[in-house]
A and B are shown apart, each in its own frame.
Chain A
Amino acid sequence: MFVSERIRRARPLLGTFVEIETDGGPALLEQAFAAIGRVERLMSFHRPDSDVARINTHGATGPVQVNAGTFEVLKKARLLWERSAGIFDVTREGRFEAVRLTGAREVHLAAAVTLDLGGIAKGWAVDQAITVLAGSGAGFAVVNAGGDLRVWGDTAIEVALREPDSGRPGPAFQLAGAALATTARYQPWSGRRPETGVRSRGRVAGRTALRSVSVRAPHCWQADALTKIAWLQGESAASLLREFGAEALWLRADGSTAQTGGWA
């Protein structure tokens, strides 16, 4: 098999840095970044012409037609909302029941709610880039959008978990043919709070004792969303994780760990 040179590039996208590495060549790399750019244009909360902004501005007065990709993400958000009994909710008000998805890719808001796809769109963008790279005959690809990442191909990669307090790369694990996302508690070194994208329905016992949770799943949209649920629910998220073919690794403040998936 012809082995090509790997190229690795990073660009500012989705509000963070998106890194793509592949042996598929520069033209393919460009197409993969373009796929990320498309998700940003459609689902950015801030861009006034994105589908999300149009729904938030006009969705309560009538149906808003959106791009197929946006509609797909909304359907996945609804699935997660249903399966997590409302814990995962992409409306800021915690009222996803007001979001109506009708035929012909239309979105209608039955009440004045604000959609924010930040808890799932980044992961989905990673999946779109991987689809471009995987469909071309590339042997290897890694797409990493600010810590939400997915690896494709025969090679395993080593991923380091950033320590929440210091920001340094910490413990590492292997990843092959899967996606990974992590939620950690307040990281003063970066000056930013962790994204949640979930409405907490009240304090969950043991949550404040968590330093981070990482979720491995087949697709990055799953890892992205499930990591927020696993952060809030702790180990009681185990059955939901299994439903999506995902596993989680919780690091607690005292240095101990918990895992799902059948390993000690």
Chain B
Amino acid sequence: MNWRHAAPLVVCAACPAYGAQYLTVEQAQREAFPGATAFESADVVLSKVQAEEISRQSDQKIRAGRRYRIWRARRGSELLGWVVADAVIGKHLLIDYTVALSPSGKVRGVEILEYRENYGGEIRREAWRAQFTGKGTASPLQLDADIRNITGATMSCRHVTEGVKKVVALIDVCF
């Protein structure tokens, strides 16, 4: 099989962000609870007491005053479960994800919504776009969508896993 070496995608010193979007929050809600007739907002801003208890349960340092985006999934008056949207930051990496939970607060699923990698520096649109003559007039973000498959990435999902533990504690403590 041919190792046909395509044109290098990175030439300029300052490059735009690379990322991937899989789902919006609304799509993630509907996929987690397809039978739901409504997603009722139930945002929480943590009190000091709540933050301390969540910290204890999840073995992490959770700050008071932080707002968490939470929805109750309902079918009529029946509670089908919960959806929590959260984000974690890894090195150079911002990850939006949702956790779907059963009515009793057990994890039913975790979905990555979007991740963005930032390398710092200015985004030099023209220099970046100049490499892609023939690929259309898409903006750098759309062009980055062409890079759909990466090898050599050894990214730990530990932050998301910890985030999920925090979300489980959050629902347990606040509801």
Contact = CB atoms under 8 A, between A and B. Distances in A.
B18 A259 contact: no
A9 B23 contact: yes
Contact of B155 (A164, A174, A190): A190
A147 B150 contact: yes
A17 B152 contact: no
B112 A16 contact: no
Nearest to A263: B3
Interface residues of B, number: 43
Interface stretch (B36-44, B53-61, B141-149): B141-149
Nearest to B160: A12
Interface string B97-112: 1000000000001111
B8 interface: yes
Contacts, number: 149
A147 B3 contact: no
Report the contact-size class of chain A (Cβ under 8 Å from the partner). Answer: 35 or more
A146 B156 CA distance: 8
Contact of B157 (A12, A167, A169, A171): A12
Given A9-B22, A247-B1, A172 B9 contact: yes
A173 B154 CA distance: 19
Nearest to A145: B153
A232 to B, nearest CB: 17
Interface string A160-199: 1111101111111111101011111001011110110000
Interface of B: 1-10, 15, 18, 20, 22-23, 31, 90-92, 97, 109-112, 115, 117, 119, 146-158, 160-161, 164
